[in-house]
Amino acid sequence: MRPSAPSAPQPAQALAISALEWRSIGIFIAVAFGLSWGVWALVYLLGGMENLLAFTAGSLLAMWCPGIAAIICSRYVTPMSRRELGLRRGILERYASIYFFVLLFLIAAMGLSVGLGFQEVNATLEPLRSELVDQPYPFDDPILVTFINIVVAFTLAAVLNSLFTLGEELGWRGFLLAKMAPLGMARASILIGLIWGVWHAPAIFMGYNYPGYPLAGALLMVWFTVGWSVIFTWLRQVAGSVLAAAFGHGLLNAVAGLPLLLLQDTNSLIRAPLGITGLVPLTLLALLALGLLQKRQKDGEDSPT
């Protein structure tokens, strides 16, 4: 009997894909999307964005649905420790590194939008100035109020937002990143960004972020989340904690509205920071973070910590 020929070695990418825990990943996505989209369906039935209270409450609840899915799956589907999920303090001083990306993103997005003539600097600070007419001094000064808004956004608001973004990050950069680790952090972060972007679809279809452009807005949101997924994955890895990613996400949410205050408004598909003028510099920053992730992989540090 002739001995069978040795099988050809499988490519590394094929081996990585075969190592994925598809059952755990599938159950997590089903639970995370099922819970979140169920909340958004209820919000829609209650009036969508026209019902501000329902929309706000629904948004906060939906943000924790991936975290709830992560807790359920890490306990009942595929046991994982808190350390594996990234639920530890990590290296606190590295949390602050996200300010580099967020500040550069905001400055570049606003600069590009103004430089290309899509938006103008809001020198009059309207409509804020009109809204403050009947407020007591010193809160009737739009310049002072704008300054306070900026300071609070980069400090207190970022921390408070982290309480809710932790729900998302525990799911995306906690459970799902750990399960997709065989792909490498770079590839995993891009794929998670795609999933994360699609997860936003119900809110976008209801007019959030890109009012009047449900389909185009959903596509731009996927672009946005892929970019930030790479950056947040890098932050989660260098800080050794999913809490760092939650802080970065909270900071981004806190400051994302500042360009609407500092610049005159324009088409939502173009304006900074979620429109094209924000997505272009974000792509460059994401490529930088992608290179840093790939360097970690080359140095043997490419694993959830």
- In a domain? residue 35: yes
The DSSP call for residue 94 is G
- In a domain? residue 6: no
Compute, in degrees rounded to 10, the torsion defined by CA atoms 102, 107, 110, 112.
-110
- In a domain? residue 3: no
- In a domain? residue 39: yes
Q: What is the pTM of this model?
A: 0.93
**Phi/psi-derived region of residue 4, left when phi > 0, alpha when psi is between -120 and 50, beta in every other case:** beta
- In a domain? residue 1: no
Structural domain count, the chain: 1
Q: Which amino acid is at 36?
A: S
Please state, as a whole number, how many other Cβ atoms lie within 10 Å of the Cβ of residue 146.
17
- In a domain? residue 4: no
> Measuring CA to CA, which residue among 159, 183, 209, 155 is closest to residue 294?
183
- Residue range(s) defining the domain that contains residue 242: 18-298
pLDDT tens for 241-281 read 999 999 999 999 999 999 999 999 999 999 999 999 999 99
Residue ranges in the chain modelled with pLDDT below 70: 1-16, 18, 301-305
Q: What pLDDT sits at residue 102?
A: 98
3-state class (DSSP) for residue 138? coil
- In a domain? residue 304: no
Is residue 190 within 8 A of residue 227, CB to CB? The reply is: no
pLDDT tens for 58-85 read 999 999 999 999 999 999 999 999 999 9
Q: What pLDDT sits at residue 278?
A: 98
Q: What pLDDT sits at residue 299?
A: 79
